[in-house]
């Protein structure tokens, strides 16, 4: 036993620090998340431990229900949108043309900009007296007047959530583009040529060749992006602060109301929602691939 230990001492010494760090933090996070969620807070002070009243309060509160629906809408809109924009941009740069490298670099730019900076640009553009407001009220000569009066985007629920979705899609399109591009490049070109000699049109080639062969990469985009959308915090937090999604609600309870118990309870529910959503998505994707791939 001791001999074995000595023989493997390098292995143990090299692996131990990283494992202790990660597993240690994992245990601490999981333990405190659970403990906090079972603790009630009154006025920033812990009151009772070991009760599930946080969860009961949450399920009965309208703020949580609203936040849940907003998050669901956020997920259901931003995920397919990212798939569509990613697919379009990936197909655009999938052929070889002059200046392709430059175009690809420009399309990757949103990934290189810190998220908080993206939100700050959107705040500047959409705030009162910003470019978009002036554009829509027809103050620039080249654009027709759409609205009679300037509206405040961030104080209107639909616009604020829409703005957060726009920011999220703008920033994360390059990620789905890269994944889908890798999938597109794996499709053998002779399949398209064969289809063309048999007289297939562009649309047919897309639905019968591209789509079925792209299912693995489409599936990974949908799963990865929907998980990201569930836990989104920064975009809704900056752009729709008055209409919290679940992530923003966690911040509200933690920072503004000094109630870590509630925010931990939401955090745990968020984890379960992500698990459920991923499972549903998996079932749907399996059914879809059975429907699309006809052997």
Partner 1 sequence: MVKKIKLSKITWIILIIVSLSLVLLPIYVMFKYSISDRSSWITGGKYPVPWFPFNPTLDMYRYYLADTRFWANAFLSINVALLTVALSIILGAPAAYSLSRSKFNGKAIILFFILSIRLIPDISSAVPIATIFNNGLWDYLPVVLKLSLAHTLLGLPYVIYIAQGVFESIPKDLEEQAHVMGCGKFYTFLNIVIPLAIPGLAAGAIYVFLLSWNEFTLSYFITATSSVPMLPLPVYLKSMFGAFTPNPVGIATISLLVSLPVIVFTFALQKYMISGSTAGSVK
Q: Give residues 223-282 in contact with partner 1 (rule: CB under 8 A).
A: 224, 230-231, 233-234, 238, 247, 250-251, 254-255, 258, 260, 263-264, 267-268, 270-271, 274
Of 72 and 274, the one with the shorter C-beta distance to partner 1 is 274
* Closer Cβ to partner 1, 47 or 294, answer by number: 47
Taking CB under 8 A as the criterion, the residue among 72, 108, 187, 285 binding partner 1 is: 108
**β 45-49/39-42 pair status:** antiparallel
Nearest-approach distance from CB 201 to partner 1, in angstroms: 8
When the beta carbons of 19 and 59 are compared against partner 1, the nearer one is 19
| Segment interacting with partner 1 (CB under 8 A) among 53-61, 62-70, 128-136, 155-163 | 128-136
Among 76, 121, 147, 194, binds partner 1 (CB under 8 A): 121
Q: 58-84: string of b/e by CB count within 10 Å (b at 16+)? A: beeeeebeebbebbbebbebbbebbbe
Q: Which of residues 199-228 bind partner 1 (CB under 8 A)?
A: 202, 216-217, 220, 224
Nearer to partner 1, 198 or 294 (CB): 198
Member of 53, 57, 72, 125 binding partner 1 (CB under 8 A): 125
Q: Which residue from 248, 274, 281 is spatially nearest to 164, judged by alpha carbons?
A: 248
**Max CA separation in the chain (angstroms):** 84
Around Cβ 214, how many Cβ atoms within 10 Å?
A: 20
Quote the CA–CA distance of 164 and 67 in Å, as a whole number: 14
Q: Does 84 bind partner 1 (CB under 8 A)?
A: no
Q: In the set 57, 134, 210, 289, which binds partner 1 (CB under 8 A)?
A: 134
- By the rule CB under 8 A, 5 interacts with partner 1: no
Contact 277, 226 (CB under 8 A): yes
Binder among 75, 175, 240, 277 for partner 1 (CB under 8 A): 175
Q: Which of 52, 56, 113, 293 is close enough to bind partner 1 by CB under 8 A?
A: 113
Q: Cα separation of 199 and 7, whole Å? A: 67
Q: Which of 121, 69, 128 is nearest to 235 (CA)?
A: 121
* Cβ atoms of 226 and 168 closer than 8 Å: no
What part of residues 32-61 is at the interface with partner 1 (CB under 8 A)? 32-33, 36
154, burial (CB in 10 Å: exposed 0-12, middle 13-18, buried 19+): buried
| Residue from the set 55, 57, 73, 103 that interacts with partner 1 by CB under 8 A | 103
Which residue bears the tokens 């933690």?
254
Q: Which of 182, 194, 280, 284 binds partner 1 (CB under 8 A)?
A: 182
Degrees to nearest 5, angle at CA 169 with 175 and 209: 60
Residue 217 vs 294, nearer CB to partner 1: 217
């Amino acid at each position: 036993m001791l001999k074995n230990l000595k023989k493997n001492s390098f292995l143990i010494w090299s692996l131990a620090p990283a494992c202790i760090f990660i597993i240690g933090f994992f245990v601490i996070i999981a333990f405190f998340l659970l403990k906090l969620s079972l603790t009630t807070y009154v006025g920033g002070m812990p009151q009772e431990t070991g009760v599930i009243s946080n969860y009961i309060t949450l399920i009965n509160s309208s703020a949580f229900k609203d936040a849940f629906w907003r998050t669901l809408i956020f997920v259901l809109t931003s995920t397919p949108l990212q798939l569509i924009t990613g697919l379009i941009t990936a197909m655009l740069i999938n052929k070889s043309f002059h200046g392709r490298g430059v175009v690809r670099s420009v399309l990757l730019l949103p990934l290189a900009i810190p998220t908080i900076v993206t939100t700050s640009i959107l705040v500047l553009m959409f705030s009162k007296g910003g470019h978009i407001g002036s554009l829509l009220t027809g103050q620039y000569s080249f654009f027709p007047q759409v609205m009679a009066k300037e509206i405040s985007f961030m104080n209107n629920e639909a616009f604020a959530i829409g703005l957060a979705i726009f920011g999220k899609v703008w920033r994360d399109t390059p990620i789905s583009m890269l994944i889908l591009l890798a999938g597109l490049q794996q499709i053998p070109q002779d399949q398209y040529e064969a289809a063309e000699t048999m007289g297939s049109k562009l649309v047919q080639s897309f639905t019968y060749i591209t789509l079925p062969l792209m299912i693995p990469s489409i599936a990974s985009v949908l799963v990865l992006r929907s998980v990201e959308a569930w836990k989104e915090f920064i975009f809704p937090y900056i752009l729709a602060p008055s209409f919290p999604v679940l992530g923003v609600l966690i911040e509200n309870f933690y920072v503004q109301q000094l109630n870590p118990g509630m925010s931990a309870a939401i955090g745990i529910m968020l984890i379960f929602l992500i698990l459920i959503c991923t499972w549903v998505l998996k079932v749907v994707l399996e059914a879809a691939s059975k429907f699309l791939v006809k052997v």
